[in-house]
Amino acid sequence: MIDIGGIPSVPPAFIYLIGAALLLLFGQGKARKIYLIALAVLGLAAVAVLTPQTSWVFPVLQGLELTFLEVDNFSLIMGYIFAIIGAAAIIYSLDIVKENGELICGLLYLGSAMGAVFAGDFFTLYIFWEIMAFSSLGLIWYNRTERATNAGMRYILFHLFGGCALLGGIIIHYMNTGSIAVGPVETGIGYFLLLISIGVNTAFIALHTWLPDSYPKATLVGAVFMCVFTTKTGVYVLARTYSGVEAVAYMGGLMCLYGVAFALLQNDVRKLLSYHIVSQVGYMVAAIGVGTYIGINGGFAHIFNHILYKALLFMCMGAVIYSTGRHNLTELGGLAKKMPVTMITCMIAAFSISGVPGFNGYVSKGMVIHAVELEGMHLLTIVLMLGSVGTFLSFLKLTYFTFFKKNDVIQAKEAPLPMLIAMSAVAFLCVAIGVYPKMLYAILPYPAVASHYHAYGLAHTIGTLELLMMTAVGFVVLLAVFSPHERITYDLDTLYRKAGRGFIWLCEQPLVTVTDGMDKGLRKVADYIVWFSRNPATASKILAAKAMVAMAGSAVMRTLNPGYIQYEQDLAKLKQMHVDEPVQRVAIGTGVLLALLLFILYLVIYLTHGVVWI
């Protein structure tokens, strides 16, 4: 039985998942391009027609239903932005992706992310969560380099760990409450398992290392897809389950500073952007941790805006890498005149992420900081404001060393038209929301609360401009400090890799030695049992004689008993005798009698003393 709340409402996930399956029918030419554009439009339309309180429920077992579509203000805003950026990423990919497999992975990833945010229960969420992990792995492996293969392995190990934690948490939660609806979780082991699994996807510090490790090694289009879905789905589930948890808010603050501090040290442009995902997701996590209406609004507004400018940044850097073949800041520069559209769109994205007034990041970042401030979390407020400084420093560095620093030797031309169209469309949205934030407020989880927030209050705007001006001055004065270098920066993954190598050594050396020893010992025992069972009577005599000699000592026995010498000779003969020959047997009836006697003895003890053996 399928309960369809609204006839036109089809889970958007299905459109992308089926679309991915049908892609192979269209080859690699023009038909594929038309099909992909049609799919992007269809996906957008499927989300646009969704209305709150719509649901698709599939009963699978007695008392267990899987909800593939649960529409409310939380899931709807995620659906909108996923569909928008999915369409942009599809258009971006049109000219540069040659292999259908890569596009299939992208579409599966988009579809499963869409499925995860519209999932009404934890099991459905888990299904899509795992599809996300494996389809995104394809986007890394399609780069077809050794670095990408290795990074992909580390990536999937992390996500399998997260997936196991999620499943464990879900099962414990279900056993405790009987409910699988996505919502707050009661404290206990399940609570922590779920938090860990969400922490992996949301890149909590110490669980974040997969992100800057894998994203820079994904394909150009793959990185655009990847920067959007995994972490934001994590934040969305966090909002559903752990909103208002103060520790989560402070984790957000830590992520904000940690990510930006590492981003500042990077030379690889996509690694710099990856660390900034950690930092920006920190703002969202902080807002969710605050958990008030304005906090939740701020968190979701920042998800929406961050997806726009971060995807745009990855698109711009993808265009730079596509045109130049270079990905390190030390090798770039002088592209402002050669790639003007890329430069302008990248500047828009950089201003957006830095929270410059007039761009979308300013609106949502201000909302997050305002929410934290209202809760009296002063330390967190300062941390988030300092994070803004680091963000602006990073993007001054990125844009200056990519586009404006003198470089006469670099060869480049503007990116292909579909890439420019996608980048321009997303850049337009960044500016549009920055200039007219009310269109974002209308789709936030609590629109009535959002409408009371004034992004362009005089004090806030002036304060932000002051902060940014001082940061710009600091960058110019301290250019040498912030300039890129060919250096490797150690993150926590260095420790994990060392621990991993140590674990492999432990398995290959000491554990193998112990296993060999145990194996030899067990074989000896087995040989002994076989030897004994061939002729128990003779074997028992040999054993008894051996035991007597061992206990008393042959010298003592010779002194006390002169006949012992003869006995020793007999024993030596007995030892040489093969236990098979001559075999002494007893009648089977004797054996049965002995067994019966033992059984009767057991019964007597049992009846008089109760249970003897359990």
Partner 1 sequence: MEKKTWKGLLLLVAFIVIVLSAGSLLVGHSETFAGFLYGAGGVALFMLLAKMMTLIQREGKQDD
Where on the chain is the footprint of partner 1 (CB under 8 A)? 147, 150-151, 213, 260-262, 264-268, 271, 328, 382, 385-386, 388-390, 393, 459, 462-471, 473-478, 481-482, 485-490
Nearest to 365 by CA among 282, 426, 474: 282
Alpha carbon distance 170, 27 (integer Å): 41
Alpha carbon distance 419, 432 (integer Å): 20
Beta carbon nearer to partner 1, 73 or 150:
150
Min separation Cβ 269 and partner 1, Å: 11
Min separation Cβ 359 and partner 1, Å: 17
Beta carbon nearer to partner 1, 382 or 577:
382
Beta carbon nearer to partner 1, 467 or 548:
467
Q: Which DSSP letter does residue 403 get? A: I
Q: Which amino acid is at 21?
A: A
Q: Is 58 helix (H, G, I), strand (E, B) or coil?
A: strand
The tokens of 325 are what? 């073949």
Contacts of 305 (CB under 8 A, 6+ apart): 352, 360, 361, 363, 364, 430, 433, 440
Alpha carbon distance 173, 379 (integer Å): 34
Strand pairing category for 64-70 and 3-4: unpaired
Min separation Cβ 220 and partner 1, Å: 18
Alpha carbon distance 522, 572 (integer Å): 27
Min separation Cβ 265 and partner 1, Å: 6
The DSSP element (H or E) to which 4 belongs, if any, is strand 3-4
Beta carbon nearer to partner 1, 40 or 332:
332
Alpha carbon distance 508, 513 (integer Å): 8
- Tell me whether the omega of the peptide bond preceding residue 582 falls within 30 degrees of 0, making it cis: yes
Beta carbon nearer to partner 1, 486 or 581:
486
Beta carbon nearer to partner 1, 176 or 330:
330
Min separation Cβ 266 and partner 1, Å: 7
Min separation Cβ 456 and partner 1, Å: 15
**8 Å CB contact between 607 and 599:** no
Min separation Cβ 41 and partner 1, Å: 40
Beta carbon nearer to partner 1, 149 or 561:
149
Beta carbon nearer to partner 1, 293 or 482:
482
Contacts of 489 (CB under 8 A, 6+ apart): 262, 265, 266
The tokens of 533 are what? 């069972």
The tokens of 211 are what? 């992100």
Min separation Cβ 306 and partner 1, Å: 20
Alpha carbon distance 103, 109 (integer Å): 10
Beta carbon nearer to partner 1, 268 or 375:
268
Beta carbon nearer to partner 1, 146 or 408:
146
Alpha carbon distance 340, 315 (integer Å): 14
Alpha carbon distance 287, 463 (integer Å): 21
Min separation Cβ 465 and partner 1, Å: 7
Min separation Cβ 331 and partner 1, Å: 11
Beta carbon nearer to partner 1, 158 or 236:
158
Q: Which DSSP letter does residue 326 get? A: -
Min separation Cβ 613 and partner 1, Å: 58
Distances (CA, A) of 548 to 402, 536, 563: 89, 18, 15
Alpha carbon distance 67, 64 (integer Å): 10
